[in-house]
Structure 1
Amino acid sequence: MAQVPGDSFDAERAWLILREACSTIHVSPSGGELIRLGENAVFWLSSRTVVARVGRGDARAAEAEREIKVARWLAGSPVPAVRPLEIAQPLRIGDHFVTLWESVAGEISYGTPAELASLLRQLHALEPPADIALPHADPFRRARCCLANATALADEDRLFLSALLDRLAARYARLEFPLRPGVVHGDANVCNVFRDHHGRPVLGDLDTVAVGPRELDLVPAAVYYDRLGWHSAGEYREFVEGYGFDVRHWPGYGLLADALEVEMVTWLAQNADQDDKAGRELAKRVKTLRTGASRAAWAPFLWHQHD
C-alpha cells in the first residue's frame, strides 16, 4: 500500500488516500479529477461516473457512516438525493474515511433557490428514520470543527471567532422557534443542489442531516439575498413562495445569520493558506466581522480545481 505522509489535509494528501481506497475495492483511480476541497476532498472517478469524498480525519467517522445510511434511507423516499455505490462503506484508510457515490452528471450544474425550497419542503415533511440515530442540529458545531482546522487564521482572529461563537451559542439556547422541528439538511444552500443528466435537481452533501429547527435550513438563502447579495430579490421571493415561510420575519433570524457568517469564514479558513485568492477573501471576511462592515463585498468561493 502507498504511504500517506504528513498530517495536513490538502488535495495531494487526499488523492493519495483515495488511491489507496480504490486499491482495496479494485476501482481504478486513473483520470481522477478534483471537484472541490473543503471539509471533504471531492473527486470524480471513472470518466465522471463516480464521485469520491475523502474525509479529513477520524473525527468524521460517525458522519461518514451516517451519511451513507441517510442516503440509502432517502433512496426509498420521495426526496431526490445522491446515491452511494452499493458497496460496503465508508472505506477506512488510516485515520480517514472515503465514500463513493453515483455521479448525477458529468458536469457541475447547481440548482436554483426555488428548487432548493422544493427539496427542503420534501425533506422537512419526512418523519425521522427509526433506524438511524440522527444528531440534534447544532448551528455552531461545523464552525467550531472548521476553526480547529483553520491553520490560515492568526491566533487573535481564532480567539475572536471562538468568543463570538460562544456568545451566539448562549443566545441561541433562549430562542423560540415557530416551525415544527424535524429532519433538516444542515447545509442547505444551492451549491448542495445538483442537476442530474436530465436537468432535475438532486440534494447532495448529506453528512450534516440532523433533527432540529427547520428554520436552520431557511437561513442560508435569506443571508445570500439579504446580506451578501448572491441571490436576487426575485430568486429569494421564489424561494419563500416555494417553501411558504420567510425566515427573515422571525426574531431569531439575525442570530442565526450571524452564526452562518462565522461558519462561512471558518470554512474558508481551513484551506486559505494554500491559495492566495482564498487568503485575501478570508482577510476581508474577518475584517468585516470585526468592524461590523457590510458583507456585500464577500465573494462566493468554491474550492474547485484551479488550472
Structure 2
Amino acid sequence: MADRAEFTEASTRATLESAAATVGIDANGAELLRLGSHAVYRLRDAIVARVARTAADVASYRREIGVADWLESVSYPAARAVHVDQPVVVDNRVVVFWQSISDRQDYGTPADVAHLVKQLHALDAPASLDLPQLEPFTRVMPRLDAAIGLDEADRAYLVERLPELQKAYAGLDFVLPAGVIHGDASVGNVILDQSRQPILLDLDGFAIGPREWDLVVTAMYYDSFGWHTKAEYDEFTKIYGFDIMAWPGYETLRSIREYLMVSWLSQKAGESEKFANEVRMRISSLRNGESRKGWNPY
C-alpha cells in the first residue's frame, strides 16, 4: 500500500482513486501528466484531476469551483468543473475534477487574451461567490520563508523591497472601474480547445480589484521581456480598448508584477541549478535596474 504521507506518484494515485470512488468517477488507468505543486492526472471520459499537496486551502478550491460554475452558467469560455460534489478531501489533500479541454496544449494569442479579458470585465460576479478583494502581496513572505536555496543577500533584498512596493501600490490612481478580475491573465492561461476556441484556465486567482491588474501582464510580456511583438501588443490594446502603457501608473504596476514573478520563482531556487540561476539573474536585474529581456518564461 502506498505511503500517503509522501507526495509521490504512488501516494497521489491512491488519493485520486479514493476521491474518484467517493464521487463515482472511474480512475482506473489514470495517466500522470505532471507532479509539481499538484499531481495532475488524465482520466477516462475526458476528465483531468488535480491533487493538491494539502487540504490547508480547501476554501479557495471551493471558491474556484464556484467561479467555474458561475462562468459556465453565463456561457463564458473557461475551464469547466465536473458536475460532482467537490472539491473532495482525502488523505488531507484536495482533489478537484475538471473537464478536459484538449488532448494538446496549444496556447492562445495576446488577441485571444484581450477578447477573454474584455468579456470577463463586462461581467458582474454574483454576491454568493464572495470573491475576495485583490491583495497582491499576501503570499510574498510565505514564499520567501519557504525558498530553500535562495541566497541570503537576495532574500534580504526582496524582504526590504516589499514595503516600498506596498506603499507604491497603495498610492496608485487606477482609472478603470474595479470589478471581477482573473488575477493572472496571460497567454499561459489560455488554451485552445478541440475546435480551436480559446478557453480561460486557472480560475483560482479570481478577485475583485482594479482591471489594470489583468492588463499589465500582456504589456510587460511585450515591454519588459520581449515575449510578445509590438504588433501583438497593439492588437491587444485595440481589442480591449485601453492601453495601460499610456497610464501614469503603468511603470509602478509593472515593477510590482515583476517583483511578484521573482518572489514566486524564488520557491523553486532549491529545486535545480537552472532555477537557482534564473532567480539570481532576475534579482540582479531588479536590484541594478538592468534589462529584463533575459528572463525566461515559466
TM-score (norm 1): 0.88
* Structure of higher RCO (CA pairs closer than 8 Å, 6+ residues apart): 1
Specify the code of the residue in structure 2 equivalent to 1:230. W
Q: Give the alignment of 1:137-152 within 5 angstroms.
A: 137-152=134-149
Pair 1:177-2:174 in alignment:
yes
The 1:35/1:176 distance shift into structure 2, 3 A limit, reads: same
Pair 1:157-2:125 in alignment:
no
* Count of aligned pairs: 294
How far the C-alpha of 1:248 sits from its partner, in A, is: 1.1
Q: Cα RMSD (Å) of the superposition? A: 2.1
How far the C-alpha of 1:181 sits from its partner, in A, is: 0.6
Q: Is the 8 A contact 2:107 2:191 kept in 1?
A: yes
| 1:107-141 CA distance string (max 9 Å, x none) | 11111000001000111101121211100012223
Percent identical across equivalent pairs?
40
| 1:56-88 CA distance string (max 9 Å, x none) | 434422211100000000001142000111111
How far the C-alpha of 1:280 sits from its partner, in A, is: 1.9
Range with greater deviation from structure 2 (23-32 or 198-207): 23-32
Match in the other structure for 1:225: 222
Query: Which SS does the other structure have where 2:84 is aligned?
Result: coil
The 1:211/1:83 distance shift into structure 2, 3 A limit, reads: same
Q: Moved runs in structure 1, 4+ residues, more than 6 A?
A: none
How far the C-alpha of 1:209 sits from its partner, in A, is: 0.3
TM-score (norm 2): 0.91
| 1:246-304 CA distance string (max 9 Å, x none) | 11111211121111112211222223322332222122112212222111111112xxx
Range with greater deviation from structure 2 (265-274 or 189-198): 265-274
Q: Structure 2 unaligned runs (5+)?
A: none
Query: Which SS does the other structure have where 1:273 is aligned?
Result: coil
Match in the other structure for 2:31: 32
| 1:3-53 CA distance string (max 9 Å, x none) | 3335xxxxx54762353132232342634233473xx42523126922222
Q: Structure 1 unaligned runs (5+)?
A: 7-11, 302-307
Report which of the two structures shows the higher radius of gyration computed on alpha carbons.
2
Query: Which SS does the other structure have where 1:51 is aligned?
Result: strand
Q: Is the 8 A contact 1:78 1:122 kept in 2?
A: no
Range with greater deviation from structure 2 (161-170 or 139-148): 139-148
Specify the code of the residue in structure 1 equivalent to 2:215. L
| 1:194-247 CA distance string (max 9 Å, x none) | 110111000010000001100000010011000100111111111111111111
How far the C-alpha of 1:142 sits from its partner, in A, is: 4.1
Q: Is the 8 A contact 1:188 1:218 kept in 2?
A: yes
